[in-house]
Structure 1
């Protein structure tokens, strides 16, 4: 749950014009106070109620208490800001909801949005929320609206005494992200309670876990429109390190990018997911929107159609004689053999291997799973990785000696003793290089790279990265 300080209200309280006797110090004193909100006071107790995050003593009207049995954090925030940032609070703090909730019995649904009690006879309505851990460890902790206590909002000169925890429950296990978030263990909380929780700016693995937890809480409180852009901005600050992490764990970042509505993260992860599909399917099906799965399948179909067109052109590559005739065994056996070797190599490398008779007991490595997936992501299957022709097309796009090099050509030509000699080998390799150049042009559409990741520094990828996510493809813009 993220709240935003009423900076305008805070500045207004700091900018009040002092009496005429101290006008000469007004501007400087106001500036100093604005930049030094935690100034120490000497000479006895001089506590003054603050009006800044997390406790807006003078202007706050919604109190939120979060306690885990050992530690308690109190927030006094603004209804207007909370309602603007969260559909949960927009509904819970509305007059309509308060009227509808009076006299209603507590039900299971009221655990998500508790009924608002009738207001006390005060000048300004106050609200109070407390974190309810539920009755068992399987319950999702949720903020429940309670009867407000006016004494906590009196704005007197002494800090209000914090009430004892409503439940002396032991620290929740780390397996559930909801409990870890409510337990203040997922986000870095500074030692001073006035400082809001922060996301890790150095360790990207920690930042991923924290952003994921924050997004899931934002989803629970209908606040993704506010949380998403903050997560997007924070992760994009990692720049090159972010693209490398996405390449390691594309399904995890695809789900995160979808929740954060991050076009950059979602597009980058989508290119990897489509290139490796159906690897990662077990981590996405049933764990993200059907619109995302449909987009993946559409992009996979588009790539397969493109690959089929390219393969057809590759198999039709031919050589011509000096008279412009198509090379055949009857007019130039040596050059026809070079075409035959290329086509044989292409057929072998673009056809899935035969299914072995004996089942292999070796488990395939699930390298695309994020370490944090042990908390919520389903494990990858034990089946071997699917056949992927991306590596073959990358070799064709590279050309040169990356495939069918000098030794392979020499070994093949020796199978025809009547054709093998030094001069024929040179001519055979020249014609093979000509075929490779033509093949390089044919596969250019598959060699396009729509990743932000620098493939040169990454040592290349064994799958294609030519998937392009258009503006109209983003599933949250429908």
Structure 2
């Protein structure tokens, strides 16, 4: 109703007729209007603060900034979670650490408190702030604690200024010729990745694991998964969080099952180090069997890169196998055949059978003894030394490993001393060579092989998860190393 005075001072009313739609929905519109969310002055709904990973606006008290000048990742996490998962954060947010820098910040804090009216002084809430310090080219990026103002409620992200950008040149762009090549082949040029993407990924995985989220690791390509897991473990080691990171890495890699065991067989020293960091008993034990069987092949990849306890465990296991091999070698050299009357075969009672025993012992001696060192002559100096430069040393000879020989002994049959070898050996004595003697000779050699096969059974045990049948005839080294529960070096 719109009213206005008339000429006589009386008041008249003019009824404004509403459209039917407005009139019929007036009450509902008023109800909707009362419950409609507030809108900002710029249109759209108002900003709702995030209170979930990675930014807990209402409850977070530790701000972490990962920035390189081109991109930035911010976290607002909880001291309680960080200190439970990481010894680094436990020390950095402790009272002892805070008291160490209290003297330098006391004046600034007192000045901030003086500006707050007494009537508005709320309860103090401690905050911490960390920024990633990239250091030099050869330095490892590390989180550094920065001075964070003591806030009295409110949003830490809204009251703190963003960190200064990192003084680092931008990522290089693809060259002109590469772009033209892509253009000519009608392919869209590949996006240049930031060289620091791996660092951002690793820190994000670190905090995701802290909050019981699965890390973003490659679930298909095991080679990529290894690189990502290794990088995450190194980060966990740096921040004293391996107890939390290790089980996640172990769980992810074990999902590859058979492919994992094949990868460990290809790179046992690398996976031994990874298994140690991850505290993975399955990966560590699998890699240890390969490392000991191939020893000393992987010594350069492990010495100085693994704890002394791991090196001592390897050496102990190698000594155990060497002692077992020496014991079995003695049994093999004492193997003998007997005559029909139960007597030991000698040159005087059965020349042909004794020849079969001699052939086996000669083959065993040649294959279990390192080859003699070559006789070095004194030829003319190589050109490099004649010109005043140091001569290039010859490459070292490969390590002598008798595992292959024992594998052959454990296989038996025609894997060694086959028909051709027996025939060639018997022909050295023309008076003994004929078809009947050759058949008898081969039968006696097979008898010795069967005795040898029984003798080497302790060395033929396999403690690998790997299916040896998939390796095309097995491995050329022994896999009888057993890692017992008390052997794991992190349980000490």
**TM-score for the superposition, normalised by structure 1:** 0.77
Does 2:406 align with 1:397? no
3-state DSSP of counterpart to 1:273? helix
Asked whether the equivalents of residues 215 and 260 of structure 1 are also in contact (C-alpha less than 8 Å), the reply is yes
Cα distance, 1:401 vs. partner? 0.5
Task: Determine the C-alpha separation between the residues in 2 that align with 1:161 and 1:86.
Answer: 25
Change in CA separation of 1:428 and 1:288 when aligned onto 2, cut-off 3 Å: same
Asked whether the equivalents of residues 242 and 277 of structure 2 are also in contact (C-alpha less than 8 Å), the reply is yes
Give the alignment partner of residue 182 of structure 1, picking from 199, 208, 213. Answer: 199
Give the alignment partner of residue 240 of structure 1, picking from 249, 255, 258. Answer: 258
3-state DSSP of counterpart to 1:128? strand
Residue 351 of structure 2: aligned partner:
333
Does 2:132 align with 1:131? yes
Residue 102 of structure 2: aligned partner:
102
Residue 63 of structure 1: aligned partner:
63
CA RMSD of aligned residues (A): 3.0
Task: Determine the C-alpha separation between the residues in 1 that align with 2:168 and 2:201.
Answer: 15
Asked whether the equivalents of residues 187 and 210 of structure 1 are also in contact (C-alpha less than 8 Å), the reply is no
Does 2:481 align with 1:464? no
Task: Determine the C-alpha separation between the residues in 2 that align with 1:351 and 1:454.
Answer: 30
Q: Which ranges in structure 1 are unaligned for 5 or more consecutive residues?
A: 1-42, 106-114, 360-380
Asked whether the equivalents of residues 125 and 152 of structure 2 are also in contact (C-alpha less than 8 Å), the reply is no
Change in CA separation of 1:150 and 1:172 when aligned onto 2, cut-off 3 Å: farther
Asked whether the equivalents of residues 73 and 200 of structure 2 are also in contact (C-alpha less than 8 Å), the reply is no
Task: Determine the C-alpha separation between the residues in 1 that align with 2:228 and 2:486.
Answer: 29
Tell me the alpha carbon deviations over residues 373-418 of structure 1, each in whole angstroms, 9 at most, x when there is no partner. xxxxxxxx95232011111000000000000011111111111111
Cα distance, 1:356 vs. partner? 2.5
Residue 92 of structure 1: aligned partner:
92
Asked whether the equivalents of residues 232 and 260 of structure 1 are also in contact (C-alpha less than 8 Å), the reply is yes
User: Where do 1:73-92 residues align within 5 Å?
Assistant: 73-92=73-92
Change in CA separation of 1:101 and 1:196 when aligned onto 2, cut-off 3 Å: farther
Task: Determine the C-alpha separation between the residues in 2 that align with 1:287 and 1:337.
Answer: 51
Task: Determine the C-alpha separation between the residues in 1 that align with 2:442 and 2:453.
Answer: 16
3-state DSSP of counterpart to 1:103? helix
Cα distance, 1:150 vs. partner? 6.8
Task: Determine the C-alpha separation between the residues in 2 that align with 1:382 and 1:58.
Answer: 65
Task: Determine the C-alpha separation between the residues in 2 that align with 1:356 and 1:172.
Answer: 55
Residue 320 of structure 2: aligned partner:
302
Task: Determine the C-alpha separation between the residues in 2 that align with 1:69 and 1:278.
Answer: 47
Task: Determine the C-alpha separation between the residues in 2 that align with 1:318 and 1:186.
Answer: 66
Give the alignment partner of residue 247 of structure 2, picking from 219, 229, 233. Answer: 229
**TM-score for the superposition, normalised by structure 2:** 0.75
Tell me the alpha carbon deviations over residues 25-58 of structure 1, each in whole angstroms, 9 at most, x when there is no partner. xxxxxxxxxxxxxxxxxx9235422211101111
3-state DSSP of counterpart to 1:286? coil
3-state DSSP of counterpart to 2:287? helix
Task: Determine the C-alpha separation between the residues in 2 that align with 1:207 and 1:280.
Answer: 22
Cα distance, 1:149 vs. partner? 5.0
Give the alignment partner of residue 407 of structure 1, picking from 401, 405, 420. Answer: 420
Tell me the alpha carbon deviations over residues 394-447 of structure 1, each in whole angstroms, 9 at most, x when there is no partner. 000000000001111111111111111111111111111111110000000000
Task: Determine the C-alpha separation between the residues in 1 that align with 2:258 and 2:200.
Answer: 32
Change in CA separation of 1:104 and 1:285 when aligned onto 2, cut-off 3 Å: farther
Cα distance, 1:172 vs. partner? 8.9
Change in CA separation of 1:466 and 1:171 when aligned onto 2, cut-off 3 Å: farther
Change in CA separation of 1:210 and 1:172 when aligned onto 2, cut-off 3 Å: farther
3-state DSSP of counterpart to 1:326? coil
Q: Which ranges in structure 2 are unaligned for 5 or more consecutive residues?
A: 1-42, 114-122, 173-194, 378-393
Task: Determine the C-alpha separation between the residues in 2 that align with 1:354 and 1:152.
Answer: 81
Task: Determine the C-alpha separation between the residues in 2 that align with 1:186 and 1:245.
Answer: 26
Change in CA separation of 1:172 and 1:230 when aligned onto 2, cut-off 3 Å: farther
Task: Determine the C-alpha separation between the residues in 1 that align with 2:311 and 2:161.
Answer: 48
Task: Determine the C-alpha separation between the residues in 1 that align with 2:448 and 2:337.
Answer: 8
Count of aligned pairs between the two proteins: 395
Asked whether the equivalents of residues 152 and 160 of structure 1 are also in contact (C-alpha less than 8 Å), the reply is no
Does 2:218 align with 1:200? yes
Task: Determine the C-alpha separation between the residues in 1 that align with 2:128 and 2:67.
Answer: 17
Residue 456 of structure 2: aligned partner:
443
